[in-house]
């Protein structure tokens, strides 16, 4: 996925406010599946709820890709 794809995915999760954060950290599909909660916090996503929602969505993507 490209950075715009990641942004669209985040918007679909109602987490579009973080799209610019993912873009600023060059998160594309190649690295998205390796992002953990610690990295989300390091990227500046301070809301625990948002981190959990993003991480859960990443885990679901991993299951679909397996």
Question: Tens digit of pLDDT for each residue in 23-45?
Answer: 999 999 989 999 999 999 999 99
Tally Cβ neighbours within 10 Å of residue 45: 21
Q: Does 66 score more than 80 pLDDT?
A: no
Question: What are the structural domains, with CATH classification, of the chain?
Answer: 3-65 (1.10.150.50)
- Residue recorded with tokens 């873009």: 23
| Mean pLDDT to the nearest integer, 45-59 | 96
Six-digit token pair at 60? 């679901």
Angstrom distance (rounded) from CA 61 to CA 22? 16
Angstrom distance (rounded) from CA 38 to CA 6? 19
Summary mean pLDDT of the chain: 94
pLDDT category at 2 given cuts 50, 70, 90 is very high
Angstrom distance (rounded) from CA 3 to CA 37? 19
pLDDT at 65: 83
């Amino acid at each position: 996925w490209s950075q715009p794809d990641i942004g669209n995915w985040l918007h679909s999760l109602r987490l579009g406010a973080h799209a610019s954060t993912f873009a600023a950290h060059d998160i594309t599909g190649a690295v998205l599946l390796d992002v953990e909660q610690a990295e989300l916090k390091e990227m500046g996503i301070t809301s625990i709820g948002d981190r959990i929602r993003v991480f859960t969505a990443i885990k679901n993507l991993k299951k679909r890709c397996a």
